[in-house]
Amino acid sequence: MLVAERHEKIIRLVNERGSIRVSELSEICQVTEETIRRDLDRLEQAGRLMRSHGGAVSVMDQQPEIPYLEREITAIEEKKRIAQRAIAHIEPNDRIILDASTTAWYMASILPDIPLTVLTNSIKVAMELATKERVEVISTGGVLAPRSLSFVGQRAERTLDHYHVDKVFFSCKGIHLERGISESNEMQALVKKKMISISDSVYLLADASKFGTQAFTFFANLDQVDEIITDDRLEPGYLQKLEERSIKVTIAE
């Protein structure tokens, strides 16, 4: 089988199944796993699929992300209050992660210029922090997702594997009592899952509209979160159910 033929076969299989592992492709194509990994790297660079841990996922199977500029003007005041409350958890010399959410960007905009290390996959967050002389900024790099102005993919995940941080501040598309925390896009979900895994303390920043929603891709259980910071529009009944499960919820008023 020629290389070009193998690449087309890989793309067809990934698109048919939605995702596939390196070991499966190696067996189907009768080449080594290392060859498949090189194939996947080339196909990701060409924008024909996206790498995931141990395999690849289809770019045709992703729900479209809401463009950053649209998210930026949604629930502005609530997100700013949530960001302000989240800042109270940050102390000098902390090592933290800020994801590519608009709430994390609001955090970056009001973050005091104190000694900090901030790891992020967000272009907007990195640019905002560039003006703060005592804040060290580390970008994950990776494949640029234009709609969210963020880096995703296996390169971003590999970068995160090299670090351990004190705190992560992230948002999501959906929070469901039974189905956990979810995202609209699988590649974003994989990056956030990795962020949580390398953090001592986990803070979920979510305005009230996110509760009761299940988005496309699950990536974390509610019991993995140390604190949810939300706004005062959260229904009292939902707040009670969270508290009954010993999940700490802070209302940013």
- pLDDT tens for residues 112-164? 999 999 999 999 999 999 999 999 999 999 988 888 889 998 899 999 999 99
Q: What is the pLDDT of residue 184?
A: 84
Cross-strand bridge partners of residue 183: 217
Supply the pLDDT for residue 112. Answer: 95
Q: Which pLDDT does position 187 carry in this prediction?
A: 87
Sheet holding 19-21, edge to edge: 19-21, 55-57, 50-52
Q: Would you say 13 and 25 are in contact if contact means Cβ atoms under 8 Å apart?
A: yes
Confidence bin at 51 (pLDDT 50/70/90): confident
Q: In what order do the strands lie in the sheet with 116-120?
A: 135-139, 116-120, 95-98, 165-170, 199-205, 227-231, 249-252
pLDDT of residue 65: 53
Residue type at 18? G
Backbone angles phi, psi at 205, to 5 degrees: -105, 115
C-beta of residue 99 within 8 angstroms of C-beta of residue 139: no
Residue 216 pLDDT grade (very low, low, confident, very high; cuts 50, 70, 90): confident
Q: What is the pTM of this model?
A: 0.74
Give the pLDDT mean for 242-253.
92
Q: Which range scores top for mean pLDDT: 8-17, 18-27, 91-100?
A: 91-100
pLDDT at residue 67 in the model: 52
Mean pLDDT value across residues 61-81: 63
Quickly name the fold that domain 3-57 has.
Answer: Arc Repressor Mutant, subunit A (1.10.10)
φ/ψ of residue 45, rounded to 5? -60, -30
User: Would you say residue 237 has pLDDT above 60?
Assistant: yes
pLDDT of residue 72: 47
User: How does residue 220 score in pLDDT terms, banded at 50, 70 and 90?
Assistant: very high
Where does the pLDDT of residue 190 fall: very low under 50, low under 70, confident under 90, or very high at 90 and above? very high
Q: Is the pLDDT of residue 73 over 50?
A: no
The fold adopted by the segment(s) 68-252 is Rossmann fold (3.40.50)
Residue 30 CA to residue 64 CA, distance in Å, equals 34
- pLDDT per position as a tens digit, 15-26: 877 788 899 999
Question: Where along the chain do the CATH 3.40.50.1360 domains lie?
Answer: 68-252
- Numbered ranges of CATH 1.10.10.10 in the chain: 3-57
- Mean pLDDT on 7-20: 84
